Amino acid sequence: MAISERATTRAGVDRADTAQGDTLDVTPRTPQVAGGFPAQRLRRLRRNEGLRRMVRETRLDPAEFIYPLFVSETIREEAPIGAMPGQSQWPVSAIARQAERIAALGVGAVILFGIPAVKDEIGSGAWDDHGVVQQAIRAIKDATPELTVITDVCLCEYTSHGHCGLVRDGEVQNDETLELLARETLSHVAAGADIVAPSDMMDGRVAALREALDAQGFDQTPIMAYSAKFASAFYGPFREAAESAPMFGDRRAYQMDPANGREALREVALDIAEGADIVMVKPALPYLDVLARVRDRWGLPIAAYNVSGEYAMLKAAAANGWIDERRATLETLIGIKRAGADLIITYHALDAARWLAEE
Ligand code: PBG
């Protein structure tokens, strides 16, 4: 079959299968193994670091790292997070200094999570123009305008029940939540956020946020959608860090079933159709297959979230002397990138940036 024919078929499949597909030819190249040993000796190009460096397929660059920051209204000083050694909650007063350290390492962006002093049933702190995240955005943009500021758009840190949307009769209400998320988004962007990242997993939220942004003149603000976000045990340490564990039930009625790969592609396709500029797979390590399938199918930038539990496992093994932290961390990040991520949200960002600068 001719290449052009194959490309057409592939694009056709994408269009039928997914609301909006790229028409790029993504046909995988066949590994070149004809002839075999002894003509082919793959060790030839592994003999020394000069050769290995030359044929290396994947490289890490701190510009692709997104570093999560927890900003709390309830503390006056840095407060270390027990289950995430090396990570802390920060008061707004310390956030500019921290942003300067992050920017100095060449890290591309931060993603902000807020812990408000008061929570209520509807999470109204989320769209308070003087809320903790809004203050942090202003402080960071003042101190380091070159550092990209992404905000996590969700209600779970702001609701008294800890769910990601409005709850009625024990159920998270989808359509009514969209309006609250839109308010939160506009408040973040008005404070200076560069990118908004909805993590709530309501249906239709990308379209709702895009529409709200455009209507207010923010048609240049990108949306990074947590598209394939799975209901994962690996978010455990984050919920301590963000004080956002649900008070009843769990998130399985809105986040995805870990067993579903095809459904993840549908989530991604819908988010692209609704206007997402960047899509995300989360967590990263148990879902590298999903990441690779999304990469195969679409050309837009893809983010992977190397989540709190993945970080905690590695740190715990390293603290016990069971693993070489530096090598294991860089191997983890390169694996995520090799699988298809353009951007990696990771708590290892600052360490990794330092190690890469030394190499
Ligand atoms: C908010 C949100 C969560 C994470 C990112 N945004 C927690 C959750 O959905 O329960 C998890 C990040 C991590 O574990 O590092 N909805």
Residues 17-70 have pLDDT tens digits of 444 445 566 666 666 667 789 999 999 999 999 999 999 999 999 999 999 999
Residue matched to tokens 């919920």: 239
Beta strands 278-282 and 343-346 are: unpaired
Distance CA 317, CA 285 (A): 16
For 69, 70, 112, 160, 287, the CA distances from 78, given in Å and listed in that order, are: 12, 10, 15, 24, 33
Q: 13 pLDDT exceeds 50? A: no
Known catalytic residues? Answer: 229, 282
Distance, first Cα to last Cα, the chain: 45
CB distance 185 to 196 below 8 Å: yes
Average pLDDT of the chain to the nearest whole number: 93
Residues 319-356 have pLDDT tens digits of 999 999 999 999 999 999 999 999 999 999 999 999 99
Q: 197 pLDDT exceeds 50? A: yes
| Atom 11 of ligand 1, nearest CA residue | 235
| DSSP-assigned letters across all residues of 258-296 | TT-SHHHHHHHHHHHHHT-SEEEEESSGGGHHHHHHHHH
Query: Which pLDDT belongs to residue 36?
Result: 87
| Atom 6 of ligand 1, nearest CA residue | 199
Residue matched to tokens 């992050």: 102
| Atom 10 of ligand 1, nearest CA residue | 235
Distance CA 206, CA 273 (A): 9
For residue 250, give the nearest of 227, 231, 230, 235 by alpha carbon.
231
Confidence of residue 6 (pLDDT cuts 50, 70, 90): very low
Residue matched to tokens 């715990």: 316
Residue matched to tokens 């997993």: 201
Distance CA 82, CA 91 (A): 17
Query: Which pLDDT belongs to residue 32?
Result: 64
Query: Which pLDDT belongs to residue 309?
Result: 98
Domain boundaries, the chain: 62-358
| Atom 14 of ligand 1, nearest CA residue | 235
Query: Which pLDDT belongs to residue 145?
Result: 98
Q: What percent of the chain has pLDDT over 90?
A: 89
Q: How far is the CA of 109 from the centre of ligand 1 (A)?
A: 17
Question: 111 CB under 6 A from ligand 1?
Answer: no
pTM over 0.85: yes
Query: Which pLDDT belongs to residue 3?
Result: 41
**Helix-, strand-, coil-residue percentages of the chain, each rounded to 5:** 45, 15, 40
Tokens representing residue 12 in the block? 């056709």
Distance CA 333, CA 267 (A): 24
Confidence of residue 359 (pLDDT cuts 50, 70, 90): confident
Residue range 159-168: average pLDDT?
A: 95
Q: How far is the CA of 148 from the centre of ligand 1 (A)?
A: 20
Beta bridge partners of 229: 282
Question: 154 CB under 6 A from ligand 1?
Answer: yes
For 105, 200, 279, 285, 352, the CA distances from 61, given in Å and listed in that order, are: 11, 29, 19, 19, 9
Q: What percent of the chain has pLDDT over 70?
A: 91
Residue range 200-221: average pLDDT?
A: 98
Which CATH code, of 3.30.1330.60, 3.40.390.30, 3.20.20.70, 3.40.50.300, is assigned to 62-358?
A: 3.20.20.70
Residues 239-297 have pLDDT tens digits of 989 999 999 999 999 999 999 999 999 999 999 999 999 999 999 999 999 999 999 99
Query: Which pLDDT belongs to residue 26?
Result: 60
Question: 347 CB under 6 A from ligand 1?
Answer: no
Query: Which pLDDT belongs to residue 15?
Result: 40
Residue matched to tokens 């807020």: 114
Q: 86 pLDDT exceeds 60? A: yes
Helix or strand or coil: residue 94? Answer: helix
Burial class (CB in 10 A: 0-12, 13-18, 19+), 158: buried
Distance CA 328, CA 317 (A): 10
